[in-house]
Structure 1
Amino acid sequence: MQEILAIVRMNKTSATKKALVEAGVAGFTAFKVMGRGRLVDDPAVVAERKAAMMAMAGADEPDAEMLIDGFLDGHRLFPRRLFTILAHDEDVPRIVEAIMQANRTEHKVGDGKIIVMPMLDAIRVRTGEAGEDAV
């Protein structure tokens, strides 16, 4: 048994849910979380992302540039979605690939992170089933 944690962009929540269902995942949980990844040190990529974010904010938002600079320099956290999935060992590669396909973008940054961890046990509350049967 494995636990898969997938941290994805908020706007990829629906695509991720659809990908998980299509991959045959029996169930999953999603949380709203805040975080940030590794800072990008390529000035061209930072400038490109800032321009795109400024365009989305519009001219009528007076604090937009300050907020965007805070995101890009690591002082502010980005809203993200955290999916948790319990999976049988043999299903993990298929699930991970489905998550990657649903979340890969052309932005070169911020597409998310997938963490796979061993699971010691799981118990289904309703029936008392444990281990692989509970997944």
Structure 2
Amino acid sequence: MKEIMAVVRMNKTNATKKALIEAGVAGFTAIKVLGRGKPVEDEAVIQERKNKLLEMAVHESIDAEEAERQVVSFLDGSRLFPRRLFTILAHDDDVPRIIEAITKANKTENNVGDGTIFVMPIADAVRVRTGEAGEAAIW
């Protein structure tokens, strides 16, 4: 038995839910979280993202100086990013299929921030309603 934890972009929540259901996942939990991943060090990627975010900010009702401050704080690591954390319990044999589904639903061409997947062993699980334990409790 394994626990799969996937941290994904907020705008990929529905795509991830759909991918998990299509992969045959019986149940999962999703919660809103804040965090940040590995800082981007490629100046070209940073500048490209900065330009895109500042362009988007032009349509907001904030001045250019405030927009610049907010964008820089996102890119320099001083702010946390809103994300969605999915938790799935799975049989060992199902893990590769689930990881593939999550990856396919979340991969972008942005070169940063597509998410992270963690896989951990689970000692036991118990279904409260039926009392089923172990492998029988997760699907």
TM bracket (short chain): over 0.9
How does the TM-score come out when normalised to structure 2? Answer: 0.94
Count, aligned residues: 135
CA–CA distance in 2 between the matches of 1:15 and 1:57?
25
Return 76-85 or 50-59, whichever deviates more. Answer: 50-59
Partner of 2:62: 61
Q: RMSD between aligned alpha carbons?
A: 0.9
Partner of 2:15: 15
Secondary structure in 1 matching 2:24: coil
Partner of 2:89: 86
Partner of 1:3: 3
Q: CA deviation at 1:56?
A: 2.0
CA–CA distance in 2 between the matches of 1:116 and 1:84?
10
Contiguous gaps of at least 5 residues in structure 2: none
Q: CA deviation at 1:67?
A: 1.2
Deviations 1:31-86 (A, max 9, x none): 00000001111111001111111222225322222111111000000000000000
Amino acid corresponding to residue 73 of structure 1 in structure 2: D
Residues 1:75 and 2:75 are matched in the alignment: no
Residues 1:48 and 2:51 are matched in the alignment: no
Secondary structure in 2 matching 1:133: helix
How does the TM-score come out when normalised to structure 1? Answer: 0.97
Partner of 1:131: 134
CA–CA distance in 2 between the matches of 1:28 and 1:56?
33
State the percentage of identical aligned residues. Answer: 67
Deviations 1:111-135 (A, max 9, x none): 0000000001111011111100000
Contiguous gaps of at least 5 residues in structure 1: none
Return 114-123 or 47-56, whichever deviates more. Answer: 47-56
CA–CA distance in 2 between the matches of 1:82 and 1:129?
26
